Chains A and B, each alone.
Chain A
Amino acid sequence: MNKKINLLCFILLLSACQKNEDNVTFSNQSSVIDGIKTYRHSEDGKPTSLDPIKAATQYSSFVVTNIFDTLYTYKYLKRPYELKPNLAQEMPVISDDGLTYTIKIKSGVTFHDHAAFGLDNNKGREVVAEDFVYSIKRTFDPNNRASGAWLWQGKIQGLDQWKADGADYNRAISGLTALDSQTIQIQLIKPYPQLTYTFAQAFSAVVPKEVVDALGQEFGSKPIGSGPFILDKFDSEVAYFDKNPDFRKEPFDIHYEGYDEAIHGKTGIDSLDGKNPPFIDKLEIHFVKESTSRWNSFTKGDEIQYTTVPKDKQNTVILSKSPLTLHPQITENFNYRYGMEAGFVYGGFNMDDPDFGINGDPEHDAKSKALRCAIQRSHNWEQKNRAFYFGLGTIFPGIITPSVSEFDPNQSYDSVTLDVEAAKQMLTDQGWDATNLPVFEYHVAGSVLNKQFFEQMRGFMNKMGYPLHLIEYHPYPSFGTFNKAIKNREAPFFFMAWTLDYPDAENTLQLLYGPNQSPGSNNFNYQNPEYDALYEKASVMQPSPERTKIYREMNQMVVDDCVLVSGLSRNKIHLWHKNVITYPDRQMLGGGHIRYVDVK
């Protein structure tokens, strides 16, 4: 009898586990407890240091932009992205020659409270222009292992020399000065139209010298800024924040921020119009890598309230892909948006490689180009998109991504269109056959997913006659070692991703500029004097149709030379609970949208 009861209990337990997902109802419990509004966000990766000068990952940057102020930020809802003043009073005043930027910052903005300020009740002091100058200097201090100096390297008068002279903080820099407590002046070596964008990045966030001096390296884990939230606790799983009660009062103007009833109407954002952000009292950012755990926590109702859809749940969430519609169960229970990343994935050739690159010998170069172009044409992007990105990726030719305004939808898509016969013909025309093809090495940071990418690409290449035994997988134990191999020019072909730092095609076009060759950002070691001349011409130009024309011309050169097998921009589905008012975006905006989140 006892055994029968045990068996019955076991079956009941199993049946509880096997409840059909489709029948599960979700209830979003209130996020307001005892009048305190708490929003629990989730990210699928972890930040490292929270020191702005080290905010190189999207996860660090996300947290940093909530603690610190940058001079500029992007309008919350406006797309394409548009800059707006943040700590700055208005957009910079730029001299006619494009070399002098004058920026006024807001008065009355204070840092979070800290004993290092030496004021009564540990109050935070006012943010002044000199703080910005100090913050940029820190980026160039060799002792700090900063990751963002490249944004201003060789751009601001005297800054590189200041570093070379020993990074003495008491020494002034001719091109980076505080004219008075509220005015910053920057003098450039040559025009740099992207400069204002760089001041919207977490790298340029304003930090207080007293606190940095008091905490030393610990500043990266106990950050004090002037942003909308104050860090309370931070561990490997969660960062807890309190609302900054002294955050400046700036009423939320939904129309200025780019509100569009058709797009944002269902989010409830209009109810926040005219109110002063931040709207929540407490913010928790949970770092959840495990997709099952993230999904279970999200669907529970009283735990995390936002997630991107994990890959293994896309089939549960998506009803149809073209056009994209979500399962009614999902739309009934959650709000959602569908957003394209500001970046792309690509395969790149090392143009220094003896087999796949160029060496100046016309015969060799013609043969290697045929090889690269054949590999490019044999790549089945559609299949790759279906197999690995659930068909949601946006495929495009070259290196100007669809997320920037300079993207040309009318450019030829031949380079990303499968044509095995054309690929075979290219090889044959240059005398390539199975007996003389070189070994093709696929270099990548090792992972199961990357092995699958490799196997698929091997299949594509085999279809055009590349023998399987000549296509080799070269995994590295970490991204660092993989990156090291690339910087040392040891990888003939590599697969990786690039995330845009600012919404300007220059950010990807500089990846092929000759002087940026390895160990710089030109991992392809592409050297094309014509391309370089166009880059030098366009890089000092303000946005204009003429500059866009040059950008597109450069993009076509890269496509014609078959330097990359590119590209695809991934698309993500964002889900959030119905008791949360938000329109999440973790691309250019980083964590900047969190100040506009409200909960019910």
Chain B
Amino acid sequence: MDLLKFALKKLIGGIPLILGVTLVSFLLMVYFGPDLTYEQLGKNPTAEEIAQVRETLGYNQPFIVRYGQYLMELITLDFGFSMVKDQPVSHMLAQSIPVSLQLTLPGFILGNLLAVILALWATAHRGQWIDKTIMTGAVIGMSVSFLVVIIAFQIMLSSRYGMNLFPVRGWNIYSADGTFSWWQYLQFVTVPTLATVFVALGYNTRFYRAVLVEEINKDHVRTARAFGHSQKHIMYKAVLKNAMVPIITRVMFSIPLVVVSGSLLIESYFGIPGVGQVTYDAIIAGDQPILKAVVGLTAALFVVILLLTDILYRAFDPRVELK
């Protein structure tokens, strides 16, 4: 019951956050986003046609009316039609979000899991060559541009100029009879995942190592050592468990971006029809219905994540109260 009350309180408390995010983003879209009027007009428009297009795009309505409509759309989850694609926004998102999830989840999970393992290993061997090697690798991963990593991995693993092991582009994860094929999925997801892990690993490892190193110097760890617990026991039970709060924070707050935003660079270079690509196209085209949906849903997801994070804190640290 306490948990339910807490959840409700948190969700209601998230409403100002959603209002703030949507208001600022909508303000930016309306006043600084591309004006579609002149994109959608023919080659020899008259002043009357210009006014007509503005009307059909809804540009002639006052800001407050448009913002009110936006909030209604968010409540009803009906974002209407894309301004340029003639598809319902909900349909476009329903098609592209699962693709982005399938694409980014392996990299996200592996990138965090491996980083925790490497950070634990480096922390356990602080100052030794293992630590130095892992940290050097992490710095290299952080320093190389994601774009360069994507191109290099694509050439190295997928193209004829490299090892030619995987497809260069595409997302054909179904077999001829329309059923999901693990083999094809692995073919298409491997190289994007390796590129994601290569870059994410550096940032994550450095962050997690710093958190773990801070923990390893605390009194309870020294006490555990004095009691003669093994290094493995200390690292997992004393250090990692106590460092879970910052680790959870980092992991959880990445989720909305993984779910709704996708990965534009990965999707464009590997020809994957994910939500990152849809969002990018919408930004370039000034397709407000899609942008409104993506921003609104990301904000709403953040509120849910805030709630889940608090609950998880409690699971790992009983001292945290749900209030």
A residues whose Cβ falls under 8 Å from a Cβ of B: 13, 16-17, 19, 21, 24, 26, 46, 48-51, 54, 56, 142-143, 145-151, 153, 217-221, 235-238, 286, 288-290, 292-293, 296-297, 299-301, 303-304, 477-481, 483-484, 487, 501, 510, 516, 519-521
- Evaluate contact between B152 and A296: CB separation under 8 angstroms: no
Q: Which stretch in B113-121, B159-167, B228-236, B237-245 binds the other chain?
A: B159-167
Q: Which stretch in B19-27, B62-70, B200-208, B281-289 binds the other chain?
A: B281-289
- Evaluate contact between A238 and B44: CB separation under 8 angstroms: no
| Per-residue A-contact encoding for B133-168, CB less than 8 Å = 1, 0 else | 000000000000000000110111011111110011
Which chain A positions have C-beta within 8 A of B96? 235-236
Closest Cβ of chain B to A274, distance in Å, is 32
Which chain B positions have C-beta within 8 A of A236? 96, 273, 277-278, 281
Q: Which residue of A lies closest to B41 (CB)?
A: A147
Which chain A positions have C-beta within 8 A of B50? 487, 519
- Evaluate contact between A299 and B271: CB separation under 8 angstroms: no
Q: Does B10 contact A (CB under 8 A)?
A: no
Kindly list 19 other residue pairs between chains A and B, CB separation below 8 angstroms, not including A293-B269, A297-B168.
A19-B162, A24-B160, A24-B161, A145-B57, A150-B43, A220-B86, A235-B273, A236-B96, A236-B281, A293-B271, A296-B159, A297-B271, A478-B35, A480-B35, A480-B36, A480-B39, A487-B38, A519-B50, A521-B43
Q: Which residue of B lies closest to A149 (CB)?
A: B42
| Per-residue A-contact encoding for B207-234, CB less than 8 Å = 1, 0 else | 0000000000000000000000000000
Which chain A positions have C-beta within 8 A of B35? 478, 480-481, 484
Which chain A positions have C-beta within 8 A of B269? 290, 292-293
Q: Which residue of B lies closest to A479 (CB)?
A: B39
- Evaluate contact between A237 and B273: CB separation under 8 angstroms: yes
| Per-residue A-contact encoding for B261-301, CB less than 8 Å = 1, 0 else | 00000001111110001100100111000000000000000
- Evaluate contact between B87 and A483: CB separation under 8 angstroms: no
Which chain A positions have C-beta within 8 A of B47? 519
Closest Cβ of chain A to B239, distance in Å, is 27
- Evaluate contact between A521 and B44: CB separation under 8 angstroms: yes
- Evaluate contact between B155 and A300: CB separation under 8 angstroms: no
Q: Does B14 contact A (CB under 8 A)?
A: no
Q: Which of A26, A237, A299 contacts B272 (CB 8 A)?
A: A237
- Evaluate contact between A288 and B42: CB separation under 8 angstroms: no
**Known A153-B44, A519-B46, A520-B45: A301·B163 in contact at CB below 8 Å:** no
- Evaluate contact between A296 and B155: CB separation under 8 angstroms: yes
Which chain B positions have C-beta within 8 A of A238? 170, 271, 273
Which chain B positions have C-beta within 8 A of A221? 85-87
Closest Cβ of chain B to A514, distance in Å, is 13
- Evaluate contact between B44 and A150: CB separation under 8 angstroms: yes
A479-B270 Cα distance, complex, nearest whole Å: 27
A480-B33 Cα distance, complex, nearest whole Å: 10
- Evaluate contact between B285 and A48: CB separation under 8 angstroms: yes
Which chain B positions have C-beta within 8 A of A296? 154-155, 158-161, 168-169
A292-B162 Cα distance, complex, nearest whole Å: 14
- Evaluate contact between B45 and A17: CB separation under 8 angstroms: no
- Evaluate contact between B271 and A288: CB separation under 8 angstroms: yes
Which chain B positions have C-beta within 8 A of A483? 38-39
Cβ-closest 4 pairs across A and B: A220-B86, A235-B273, A483-B38, A150-B42
Q: Does B95 contact A (CB under 8 A)?
A: yes
A52-B135 Cα distance, complex, nearest whole Å: 57
- Evaluate contact between A235 and B162: CB separation under 8 angstroms: no
A68-B41 Cα distance, complex, nearest whole Å: 22
- Evaluate contact between A293 and B168: CB separation under 8 angstroms: yes
- Evaluate contact between A478 and B278: CB separation under 8 angstroms: no
B residues whose Cβ falls under 8 Å from a Cβ of A: 34-47, 49-50, 52-53, 56-57, 81, 84-88, 95-96, 151-152, 154-156, 158-164, 167-171, 268-273, 277-278, 281, 284-286
A301-B81 Cα distance, complex, nearest whole Å: 38
Which chain B positions have C-beta within 8 A of A479? 38-39
A143-B53 Cα distance, complex, nearest whole Å: 8
Which chain A positions have C-beta within 8 A of B56? 142-143, 145
Which chain A positions have C-beta within 8 A of B52? 142
- Evaluate contact between B42 and A480: CB separation under 8 angstroms: no
A389-B66 Cα distance, complex, nearest whole Å: 45
Q: Which of A49, A143, A521 contacts B86 (CB 8 A)?
A: A49
- Evaluate contact between B268 and A290: CB separation under 8 angstroms: yes
Closest Cβ of chain B to A31, distance in Å, is 15
- Evaluate contact between A146 and B42: CB separation under 8 angstroms: yes
Q: Which residue of A lies closest to B40 (CB)?
A: A145
Q: Which residue of B lies closest to A60 (CB)?
A: B84
Q: Which residue of B lies closest to A34 (CB)?
A: B176
- Evaluate contact between B151 and A292: CB separation under 8 angstroms: yes
A517-B290 Cα distance, complex, nearest whole Å: 35
Which chain A positions have C-beta within 8 A of B49? 149
- Evaluate contact between B284 and A478: CB separation under 8 angstroms: yes
- Some 29 contacts from A to B, beta carbons below 8 A apart, are A16-B156, A16-B163, A26-B160, A49-B85, A147-B41, A147-B42, A148-B42, A150-B42, A217-B81, A217-B86, A219-B86, A236-B277, A238-B271, A238-B273, A286-B271, A293-B268, A296-B160, A299-B160, A303-B167, A303-B169, A303-B170, A478-B39, A478-B284, A480-B37, A480-B38, A480-B286, A481-B34, A483-B39, A519-B47
Which chain A positions have C-beta within 8 A of B286? 478, 480
Which chain B positions have C-beta within 8 A of A151? 42
A56-B155 Cα distance, complex, nearest whole Å: 35
- Evaluate contact between A17 and B152: CB separation under 8 angstroms: yes
Which chain A positions have C-beta within 8 A of B41? 147
Which chain B positions have C-beta within 8 A of A481? 34-35, 38
**Known A17-B156, A296-B168, A300-B164: A147·B40 in contact at CB below 8 Å:** yes
A13-B163 Cα distance, complex, nearest whole Å: 9
A549-B269 Cα distance, complex, nearest whole Å: 50
Which chain A positions have C-beta within 8 A of B156? 13, 16-17
A510-B85 Cα distance, complex, nearest whole Å: 30
A487-B38 Cα distance, complex, nearest whole Å: 9
Closest Cβ of chain A to B106, distance in Å, is 20
Which chain A positions have C-beta within 8 A of B46? 519-520
Which chain A positions have C-beta within 8 A of B164? 300
Closest Cβ of chain A to B110, distance in Å, is 19
Which chain B positions have C-beta within 8 A of A19? 161-162
Q: Which residue of A lies closest to B277 (CB)?
A: A236
- Evaluate contact between B152 and A292: CB separation under 8 angstroms: no
A516-B168 Cα distance, complex, nearest whole Å: 47
Q: Which residue of B lies closest to A292 (CB)?
A: B151
- Evaluate contact between A150 and B159: CB separation under 8 angstroms: no
Q: Which of A217, A286, A477, A510 contacts B169 (CB 8 A)?
A: A286
